[in-house]
Structure 1
Amino acid sequence: MEYIWLVIIGLIANVLGTLAGGGGLISLPAMLVMGIPVHSAIGANKVSNTVSSLSSFIVIYKYKEVTVKEAMIMMPLCLGGGIAGGLVASVLTESTMTIIAVVLLSFALLTSFLGSSDFNGNRPLVVNKKNGVTLFGIGLYDGVFGPGSGTLMMYVLSHLGISYIRAVGLARIAIFSSCFGASITYIATGKIMWAVTIALLIGSVSGAQIGVHLARKLKKEYVKPLLRIVTVALLIQIIVSNI
């Protein structure tokens, strides 16, 4: 029965995660409540998100919404961040990462109200030194902790003038890269509970496919409110779980 619940958790989390990020606010707390050790829960999330994110990116790529060139720009930065994040996970305390998560998400929420970008643009992805560091930083955060990284990535892509469905595709390849990098370190350190991970993976891939098809139908005026709701929910969940 535990494994059935993990499939359901993975499905629901990845529908939300694909649309606006924030799937970790469902999957990680739920796994901890089930008594799964924190490092194994995070590791299961990383492995399942690696596969589910790639599967949703492939669907968007088939519709020619994003290009391989853009994906190749994102991948090294986020992959490097994910590997670095997996390595520093043993150095930074959970309380430190919680503070970082709250600061980053609060800043993203604030800029969503102050900024004019709302996924109206259709600019090509151009990475410079400034936003390159930002993408690497989100990958690092995703490798260490995770919840909120997809949401932060969507805010960044919105700021860069990327349209919504393209932002979903690019965010998915970014999460694939950072999670792949982190997965290597979690597997190498023996933190993976494979039965748990595979059950979560089955649900995650299904949820990602549902999410990417919903994303193609979601009206752009609903995207910012959805991102804000997810961000507030993430902040509440992170703060409450650490009181």
Structure 2
Amino acid sequence: MDVYLPIANLSVNGLVIVGLGGLMGILSGMFGVGGGFLTTPLLIFYGIPPTVAAASAASQVTGASVSGVFAHTRRGGVDYLMGGVMVVGGVFGTLVGAVLFRLLQELGQIDTVINILYVIMLGAIGGMMGNEAVQSLRAMRSGRRLPARKRRHHPLVANLPWRWRFYRSGLYISPLAPLLLGFSTGILTMLLGVGGGFILVPAMLYILGMSASVVVGTSLFEILFVTMVSTMMHALTTKAVDIVLALLLLIGSVSGAQIGAQFAQKFRPEYLRLILAVIVILVALRLAIGLGYRPDEIFTVTPL
């Protein structure tokens, strides 16, 4: 079933794109991650231009985050004040990211920069996840327990001025810390088309010291609005959002999430984290190889 993507300016098999979205949904249901950080690389492997892949993936993440925010809102798992501060930082980060994206696009280096950033990011994430999973498996086999991490914000956060009380998170810290965190996520969202949850969640836990009960919901709240703004910025500035591609991905991800949730009940979390770490590292290696070898078509034409 061939489908024409008007912005990417090519025809693709619609079932394959839906299948990629389904794979991201399965990963979301199995591992508790949005899967957005793998969507863009897999689209690039399939032949979608990196600029279109990054911009369209951001819009798909927006749609996938809506149901998650509603679910966590019903159980009181969202710190709206903390999320609001991060959204403000994320909006400014998106504006800066849009300028960087357009500048790199005009220089003809945006595709290379996207690939390099993904290699670094996925390599680091995969390595950390793999190390944590291996330690957990060793502890499980030896019968000992790993020491529990204490919930405490980073010393640098404690030294920042103008403290506010974030009652839902149980924190009394400066709003500058979540503001800067949201700013960084906004830049990543604009450049790479990711939601940023894989960075936000650990940062909120181990840097801000937030309560685990509100971390995921607050992260999704920030991701929802920042990816929304990122999609609008891409549509207005880079004009790289392919709504047909985003819809096909969204159809697959909604269905795949239900399947992934069923799989998750049959495996231990330690094995799931190890499998995800291996997948992430393999994708990073494939991107790294793609940066080094000479392609069959040296020159390609991508939409501006």
| TM-score bucket of the superposed structures, by smaller chain | 0.7 to 0.9
Bigger Cα displacement from structure 2, 99-108 vs 81-90: 99-108
Of 30, 34, 40, the match for 1:28: 40
Aligned to 1:186: 234
Name the CA distance, whole Å, in 1 between partners of 2:215 and 2:268.
14
Alpha-carbon spacing, 1:83–1:218, altered in 2? closer, same or farther (3 Å): farther
Aligned to 1:135: 182
Of 226, 231, 248, the match for 1:199: 248
Identity of aligned residues (%): 22
Runs of at least 5 residues in structure 2 that lack an aligned partner in the other structure: 2-12, 133-146, 153-167, 293-304
Name the CA distance, whole Å, in 2 between partners of 1:133 and 1:205.
31
Name the CA distance, whole Å, in 1 between partners of 2:21 and 2:230.
18
Larger radius of gyration: 2
Alpha-carbon spacing, 1:149–1:84, altered in 2? closer, same or farther (3 Å): same
Name the CA distance, whole Å, in 2 between partners of 1:166 and 1:226.
26
Runs of at least 5 residues in structure 1 that lack an aligned partner in the other structure: none
Of 24, 37, 51, the match for 1:13: 24
1:10 is aligned with what amino acid?
A: G
Q: Is 1:176 aligned to residue 224 of structure 2?
A: yes
1:187 is aligned with what amino acid?
A: A
Q: Is 1:95 aligned to residue 95 of structure 2?
A: no
Query: Please, what is the CA RMSD of the aligned residues?
Result: 4.0
Q: Is the 8 A contact 1:40 1:192 kept in 2?
A: yes
Name the CA distance, whole Å, in 2 between partners of 1:36 and 1:88.
21
Of 57, 66, 83, the match for 1:54: 66
Cα-to-partner distance string for 1:58-86 (whole Å, 9 max, x where unaligned): 11111212243333232222233233323
Name the CA distance, whole Å, in 1 between partners of 2:150 and 2:257.
21
Name the CA distance, whole Å, in 2 between partners of 1:11 and 1:186.
24
Q: Is the 8 A contact 1:44 1:192 kept in 2?
A: yes
Whose helix proportion is higher, 1 or 2?
1
* TM score, norm. by length of structure 2: 0.62
Alpha-carbon spacing, 1:193–1:169, altered in 2? closer, same or farther (3 Å): same
Alpha-carbon spacing, 1:213–1:172, altered in 2? closer, same or farther (3 Å): farther
* TM score, norm. by length of structure 1: 0.74
Name the CA distance, whole Å, in 1 between partners of 2:64 and 2:261.
11
Q: State the SS of the aligned residue for 2:239.
A: coil
Q: Is the 8 A contact 1:56 1:212 kept in 2?
A: no
